[in-house]
Amino acid sequence: MKRKLTQPLLLKTITKGLSFSLMFAATLLCTVACDDDSKEIGPSPVTGITIDNAVDGVIKVPVGQTFQVQVTLSSKGNDAYQNRIQYGTSDTVIFKVDDTGVISGLYGGEATLTVMPSSGSIELAQSCKVIVEQKVTDLIVPEVFSVGERGSLNLVNSIIFQPVNATYHTLTYKVADESIVTVDADGNVSGLKQGNTIITVTTTDGSNITKDVNVSVIPYVDVTNLKTLGDITYQVMDVNTTFNLDSIMVVEPANASDKKLTYTIESGEDVISITDKGIVTMLKPGSAEVKVSTSNPEVSLKFLLCNITWLGRTGWSVDTSIKYGNGQNYVTDGTTGKPNDILDGDAATFLSLVKPGKSYDTGGSTYATPAGYDLHFTVDMKGEQTFGALEWTHRAGNSNNYLRVWGISVEGSNDNVTYTPIQSDIALPYKDNNSPKIVMLSKVVKYRYLRVHLTDWSDLHGTKSGSSMQIADVRVGSR
């Protein structure tokens, strides 16, 4: 006589009795379906699987202990109990799991448990995080933990938890003298007044390790100066790139009690964004100014971040302020030396001019510039241009500093008669290679003519070598 199962069944594995349940189910199947004229019942498609005893998707197991995973399988048919469950671990160093779902914690850390029915689709597989908990066995604390008066410092960062894979790095704190320091739940110690006290720290993972930390509050040291590495005042950025402004900030003195910096966008809020950690993102072309400051006391500086668009120079021309004895306004140097050579984008060609107070003989001509002469060149941009940056390139192929311009002043005009100062005494880097040097002007201006006065060179600093100054390339940019 054949019997049919008409109701779906659920098979739940439990901590104790899994083997009994499976044997009972097998016995039940044989009893109801194993007549001489019966056919073997195959496994039905599984419709779902759940891990029942993971809390918020996490199972926690102490090192050296076990945990029985409880799983529910469901099926459209009436024989879901015939499906076996497969268990897997992503890291056998952290934990292992047997074919009955028993997890054994081996090493402190995190790994993933995966369960799936042996006869179901892999798409039904479920997983959860397994944290194998390693208790703290020891705490190594500093001999003296120092914090500045009116300052704050995190104590946890100065404590070493052992072993290195201890799961929980949380502590409780007890201060012997709260008139000297206070400490919050995260271990941030605030110095109230100069003096010494003890903070007792205790682990919270059940290991109950306790240590005393000697705490010293040192006198408050004011910030006296805020600067950047290399004393740079700007950063040129491409759109959609980032720059870590915090990484170049220097707070002085080095032992200042409160070095925390705040970043405020003074202009160009639509051009950049900046985090409280000083990470700048360039959102679109333009320029922005950021104020960087300390708080106690306030010391600040302003830093420019910009995206530069270099203007096209087609049709532009260059003239110089001097006429030499042969009628030229430049010094011939082979095939180069001409004024317009500073517009060709080639660092191997250049404008060459004799330094004031010197002369130079070449090609049968003598080139001389009177002492004290205002030596300059003028770029005609053939129309009014808005700009706020210059790019200066020294001559390639000769790295002698005495051939380079060390400083300039710039003016602008729209009629080539009346010139308005733009910026004076601009120092040009001259000791490194001939890579382009960007000069960020103090303001954005609009002129047709740009006049550049050569104001500083090697002879003014005691180096008398070389008779000429050579400029390879000059570009003008908007920001």
Q: What percentage of residues in the chain have a pLDDT greater than 70?
A: 88
Q: Quick check: 193 and 217 in contact, CB under 8 A?
A: yes
- Note the pLDDT of residue 399: 83
Q: Tell me the pLDDT band of 451, cut-offs 50, 70 and 90.
A: very high
Whether omega for the bond prior to residue 253 falls within 30 degrees of 0, making it cis, is yes
Q: Is 0.95 surpassed by the pTM of this model? A: no
Closest listed residue to residue 337, CA positions, set 467, 217, 462: 467
- CATH code of the domain occupying 138-218: 2.60.40.1080
C-alpha triplet 30, 34, 38: angle, nearest 5°: 150
Res. 12: pLDDT tops 80: no
- Note the pLDDT of residue 442: 84
- Note the pLDDT of residue 31: 32
Q: What are phi and psi of 133, to 5 degrees?
A: -85, 125
Res. 246: pLDDT tops 50: yes
Closest listed residue to residue 151, CA positions, set 246, 292, 254, 260: 260
- Note the pLDDT of residue 120: 59
Res. 408: pLDDT tops 60: yes
- pLDDT (mean) for 298-320: 93
User: What is the CATH class of 317-478?
Assistant: mainly beta
Q: What are phi and psi of 466, to 5 degrees?
A: 80, 140
CATH fold group of domain 225-307 = Immunoglobulin-like (2.60.40)
Task: Write down the mean pLDDT value for the chain.
Answer: 87
SS3 401: helix
Task: Give the 3-state DSSP-derived string for 337-394, with helices as H, strands as E and coil as C.
Answer: ECHHHHHCCCCCCCEEEECCCEEEEECCEEEEECCCCCCEEEEEEEEEEEEEEEEEEE
Place of tokens 């317009």: 340
Domain spans of the chain, in order of start: 11-133, 138-218, 225-307, 317-478
Interval 409-428: pLDDT, tens: 999 999 999 999 999 999 99
Q: Tell me the pLDDT band of 79, cut-offs 50, 70 and 90.
A: low
Interval 32-61: pLDDT, tens: 333 333 333 345 567 888 999 999 999 999
Token representation of residue 155: 């104590």
Instruction: Mark 406-434 as b/e (b = at least 16 C-beta within 10 Å).
Output: bbbbbbbeeeeeebeebbeebebebeeeb
CA dist 445 → 271, 317, 389, 436 (Å) = 19, 20, 10, 22
138-218 and 225-307 in the same fold: yes
For the chain, count helices (H), then strands (E). Answer: 1, 38
Place of tokens 């966008």: 265
- pLDDT (mean) for 252-266: 91
* DSSP, res 82: G
Q: What are phi and psi of 145, to 5 degrees?
A: -105, 115
Computed on alpha carbons and rounded to an integer, the radius of gyration of the chain in Å comes to: 39
Interval 429-438: pLDDT, tens: 888 766 788 8
CA–CA gap between residue 309 and residue 300 (Å, rounded): 29
Interval 213-236: pLDDT, tens: 999 999 988 899 999 998 888 898
Element of type H or E holding 31: helix 18-33
Q: Tell me the pLDDT band of 76, cut-offs 50, 70 and 90.
A: confident
Res. 85: pLDDT tops 90: no
Element of type H or E holding 27: helix 18-33
CA dist 266 → 238, 247, 272, 273 (Å) = 20, 20, 11, 11
- pLDDT (mean) for 116-134: 87
Closest listed residue to residue 355, CA positions, set 474, 473, 464, 472: 464
Going by DSSP bridges, is the β-strand pair 145-148/210-218 parallel, antiparallel, or unpaired? parallel
- CATH code of the domain occupying 11-133: 2.60.40.1080
Instruction: Mark 212-231 as b/e (b = at least 16 C-beta within 10 Å).
Output: ebebebeebbebeebbbeee
Going by DSSP bridges, is the β-strand pair 160-162/152-154 parallel, antiparallel, or unpaired? unpaired
SS3 287: strand
- Note the pLDDT of residue 11: 32
Q: Quick check: 298 and 262 in contact, CB under 8 A?
A: no
Res. 396: pLDDT tops 70: yes
SS3 406: coil
- Note the pLDDT of residue 28: 29
Place of tokens 């009436």: 78
- Note the pLDDT of residue 80: 47
Q: Tell me the pLDDT band of 77, cut-offs 50, 70 and 90.
A: low
Closest listed residue to residue 450, CA positions, set 377, 398, 396: 377
Question: Helix %, strand %, coil % for the chain, to 5?
Answer: 10, 45, 45
